[in-house]
Amino acid sequence: MSLNSSTLLNEEKSQGPKRNNECLETLELQTPSSFQDNPLQRLQLASQEVLEKAKKSGRSKCPRCSSSRMFYCYTCFVPVETVPTKEIPTVKLPLKIDIIKHPNETDGKSTAVHAKLLAPDDVTIYKYPCIPEYEEKRHEIALVFPGPNSVSVKDIAFHLQKYSKKGVCDKDDDCSREPFLKQAKIEPKEEEKNLTECISNNRSEGTRLKKIIFIDSTWNQTNKIITDERLQGLLQIELKTRKTCFWRHQKGKPDTYLSTIEAIYYFLVDYHQEILKENYKGQYDNLLFFFSFMHTLIKNAKCCAGKE
């Protein structure tokens, strides 16, 4: 059975103060070297004091639907009443992100909502099969998903040039605009002169990637989404191998299978360094604001329960 934050909070309370004190003493004695395999320890995060207070006060109402939740409402994508929005960090992303969520993915267990909460202006979540048509924008969109034809982040610009030669190019087009859910397919009819000018302009930008797509589901459920005709022909990106810190590790899968918010975070770090060619100084660390707090909360609860 999967563990959630409220269940673990109840376990902590039932253990009594003596056991909690013993557990905390054990954690305090751990040296930095004991965390060397945990990248969450190195994050530059905003103060999580607001989450500490919310944890002590327990579940609270969602300001929109009035459902009882811990920290945030995973259906309305807003913090609960005990977590003021002004005390939650906001992350500005260098491109737009679409998250396609499998209909059978449990809302309360998904980390996709973290991205929407922390980067609300740049993240859109769609529940499959209600997803946009991407064909006319595929020269500026990529999909993060491993496969035989996937390319690394550093090769994105090179491979998108091939799509520009085939796709529609309109200098007046608003690339940040969300695509229509149901739009008619239009055959590209650009003149060779305009196409050449567009390719030249795009090359001078260094990269034309405007949007990146992530699939939010268990690995066993991804086939239905990844084979959808609306995602065919998109450039696929494979991330560098990294170990997950997710507490709901999928049984029988390697520890390199990342949660959705981890995949988003690591992609952006690589994109910042490989494509934008800038030093990474923690610009996107706050995307793991909720994730890191819940990771520590659950790790401590498991320790106190004698499971680690």
pLDDT tens digits for 216-252? Answer: 998 888 999 999 999 999 999 999 888 888 877 666 6
Rounded to 10 degrees, what is the CA torsion of 219, 224, 226, 229?
180
Hunting for tokens 């959808």 — which residue is that? Answer: 228
Residue 71, domain extent: 45-87
Q: Is 153 found in the same domain as 66? A: no
CA-to-CA dists, residue 30 to 25, 26, 37, 52, 288, angstroms? 9, 7, 13, 21, 23
Tell me how far the alpha carbon of residue 305 is from its chain's centroid.
Answer: 30
Q: What is the pTM of this model?
A: 0.76
- Both 262 and 289 in one domain: the answer is yes
What pLDDT sits at residue 246?
A: 81
Nearest to 192 by CA among 162, 173, 172, 169: 169
pLDDT at 241: 85
Helices (H), 30-93: 49-57
Query: Do 82 and 124 sit in the same domain of this protein?
Result: no
The predicted structure's pLDDT at residue 218: 85
Tell me, yes or no, whether 259 and 126 share the same domain. yes
Residue 245 belongs to some domain of the structure: yes
* 160: amino acid identity, one letter: L
In a domain, 301, yes or no: yes
pLDDT of residue 166: 56
Q: Is there a single domain that holds both residue 50 and residue 154?
A: no
Domain count, the chain: 2
In a domain, 186, yes or no: no
Asked whether residue 170 is assigned to any structural domain, the reply reads no
Which letter does DSSP use for residue 70 in this model?
S
Residue 191 lies in a domain: no
Q: pLDDT at position 221, please?
A: 87
Pair (64, 108) in one structural domain: no
Helix, strand, or coil here: 144?
A: strand
Residues 69 and 56 in one domain: yes
Based on the domain organization, do 286 and 298 belong to the same domain? yes
pLDDT over threshold 90, residue 62: yes
β-strand partners of 28:
none
**3-class state of residue 26 by DSSP:** helix
The pLDDT of residue 196 is above 50: no
Is residue 248, in this structure, part of any structural domain at all? yes
My answer on whether 79 and 222 are in the same domain is: no
249 and 301 share one domain = yes
**Distance between CA atoms of residues 255 and 278, nearest Å:** 29
Within this chain, do residues 146 and 79 fall inside the same structural domain, yes or no? no
Question: C-alpha angle 55/56/57, rounded to 5°?
Answer: 95
**Is 40:34 a contact under the CB 8 Å cutoff?**
no
Same domain, residue pair 52 and 144: no
On whether the CB atoms of residues 219 and 257 are closer than 8 A, the answer is yes
152 lies in a domain? Answer: yes
User: Which secondary-structure segment (H or E) carries 143?
Assistant: strand 141-144
**Whether 13 contacts 20, CB under 8 Å:** no
Going by C-alpha positions, the residue among 298, 245, 290 that lies closest to residue 51 is 290
- What does the pLDDT look like over 129-163, one tens digit per residue? 999 999 989 899 999 999 899 999 999 989 988 87
The pLDDT value recorded for residue 303 is 78
Say if residue 43 is exposed, middle or buried (CB neighbours under 10 Å; 0-12, 13-18, 19+).
middle
How far is residue 306's CA from residue 216's CA, in Å, rounded to a whole number? 31
| Residue 255 placed within a domain | yes
Q: Crossing angle, helix 289-304 and helix 5-29, to 10 degrees?
A: 80
